Amino acid sequence: MRRAAPALLLLGAAGGATLVAYVAIRPALFIAILSAMALAGFYRCLATDTRRQLGRAPVVLAIGLPLLAWVLPGAWLLYAAMVAVVPLLARRRGEVAPIYLFALLLLPALEQTFTIGGLKLFDVGVHSALALGAAGGLVLRPGAPRVPAALDAPLVALMLLLIVANARDTSATNFLRVAVNTLFLCGLPYFIVSRSVRSMDDVRLCLVYLAGAAAVLSMILLYEARSAWPMYNVLYDRHGIAMQIMVKARGGVMRAGGPFVESTSMAMVLATCILAAWLSRPAFRSGPHHAAVLALLLAGLVAPQSRGAWIGLLLATIAADLYRRRPGAAVRRLGMVALAGVALLAAAPFSAFLSETLGLTGGSVDTVDYRQRLFDRGVEEFLRSPITGYSAPDLLIRLADLRQGEGIVDFVNTYIYFALIGGAIGLAVFVGAFAAYLLHLWRCRPRGGPDADAMAAVFAGLVMPMEMLVFTSFGGRPEMFVFVFFALATAIAARHAAERRRRWRLQRQPAIA
């Protein structure tokens, strides 16, 4: 018995350590299992060639990154690991963008401010570390596409506006901090995607990766909503990062946000990924397999309970049909959605959840009232300084009457925000950037063919946020995805310009001879 005592103690200690480890990383295990289930079904629905193109990178990322986030003892170690993700997994230049986009959706930002001697320099986090690694991987790989400077001009103008408008009337150090943060949030995602994508095959690969990420996110969101367990929120406390996170509910059901801090932002990005999946039909084995994936993704979009995302997705499908020269399909879809809307409104009085989700009762009414007040006060202040707007500190003072319980002014209308921080000039730059890239894509519009769906996805992916940003603020990953789709539009337009130059040279050759 005495001989067995040490063995029993060791067994008990091992069991206790295993239990402690399980409790510590329990959310990561659940996320990894849910992600594996989602990707198993997703891969099963893909065509053989598409599965071969994807390889194992999505599986490694979806299972490995959550485990790393919970297992690594410090945030800076996690940042270092994120720097290495894309260079290790991307086999060629064209895979840098899709792998970067897939990984971008899997973890919260976990940002903290980098300081030297008490001086705050800039914010660093999971997403900026991932972007640095992806950008470094691109620089070290040959074969950068030739991009005309005119295609980068709208991006540069909008970035300069964001820096100047958000940093004016503040200190030089704050100007530097805003500039670096804007580079991480907007400039690097644009550079990575626009300089990685060189062909329409690369564009289609990006869309399939986004569809795969949507499958993972949808499974996680459905589980979070069902269990009322926001699994990712503990990561901030685990890494000692101060972050005010609010868990919201509507109709008695938690608004799931997954790896996003806020459910509306989650819904915006998920809707974009659903659009990518819808227009990636050739990547799937058959129509029923494609429909099964879309059913999962649409179910996932229910979990964040965002009306703006559904409206934006509908508008994007109509824009895609018009881009593909299918006005009849757009009219039919609009009619079907109108009938569905009437049916939902008729059923709303019999369901508290449905009524609040549609904005007819409960806290949704307060949200609508706040948006109306923001619009009215925004227009009032805009008319007092219509050309250049106000600095950020001055604007917060002027709109102090709109502060909410969290002590912030929530600019849930991006157009009002740009009108106030940049005046008519700033609003024109913001809208003009969208218009410029949409015009480039419209000029490239094909008459059918294998590229039509992918190009329509990028076109509609820019139309969608123009509606969504009426109902939400500009920041975080929704802002990053706006610049990602700017980059995809740039890549398509640059390819189109290169083909025009090649045709022109071919036409000139006989004359020269």
- Which DSSP string do the residues of 214-254 spell out, in sequence order? HHHHHHHHHHHHHHT--GGGHHHHHTT--------EETTEE
Element (H, E) at 112: strand 112-116
Cα–Cα distance between 155 and 195 in angstroms, integer?
Answer: 14
Collect the ranges in the chain with pLDDT lower than 50. Answer: 17-19, 512-513
Within a 10 A sphere around the Cβ of 1, how many other Cβ atoms? Answer: 5
Does an H or E element contain 483, and which?
A: helix 476-512
Long-range contacts from 121-124, C-beta under 8 angstroms, 24+ separation: 121/173, 121/176, 121/177, 121/180, 122/176, 122/177, 122/180, 122/181, 122/184, 123/177, 123/181, 123/184, 124/79, 124/184
Q: Which residue pairs from 186-189 have beta carbons closer than 8 angstroms and sit at least 24 positions apart in sequence?
A: 186/155, 186/158, 186/159, 186/162, 186/479, 186/480, 186/483, 187/155, 187/159, 187/483, 188/128, 188/131, 188/132, 188/134, 188/135, 189/100, 189/104, 189/131, 189/480, 189/483, 189/484, 189/487
In degrees to the nearest 10, what's the CA dihedral of 487, 492, 494, 499? 170
Give strand pairing partners of 112.
Answer: 124
Q: What is the pTM of this model?
A: 0.90
Contact residues for 174 (Cβ-Cβ < 8 A; gap 6+) = 167
| Rounded-to-integer distance, Cα 303 and Cα 253, Å | 9
Burial of 369 (0-12, 13-18, 19+ CB in 10 A): exposed
Question: What DSSP line would sit under 341-359, residue for residue?
Answer: HHHHHHHGGG-HHHHHHTT
How far, in Å, are 123, 207, 293, 310, 496 from residue 274 at the CA level? 30, 9, 9, 11, 26
Q: What's the start-to-end Cα distance of the chain, in Å?
A: 100
pLDDT of 17 reads: 46
Residue type, position 439, single letter: L
Helix (H) or strand (E) holding 114: strand 112-116
Q: Residue 253's beta-bridge partner residues? A: 250
- SS3 of 282, please? helix
Q: What does the pLDDT look like over 121-171, one tens digit per residue?
A: 778 899 999 999 999 988 888 777 888 889 999 999 999 999 998 888 888
Q: In whole angstroms, what is the distance from residue 77 CA to residue 72 CA?
A: 7
Note the pLDDT of residue 144.
Answer: 78
* Three-point CA angle 94, 97, 98, nearest 5°: 95
Task: State pLDDT tens for residues 223-256.
Answer: 999 998 999 988 988 888 877 777 787 777 888 8
pLDDT at 19: 47
The pLDDT score that the predictor gives to residue 183 is: 92
Between the alpha carbon of residue 297 and those of residues 102, 209, 301, the distances in Å are 15, 14, 6
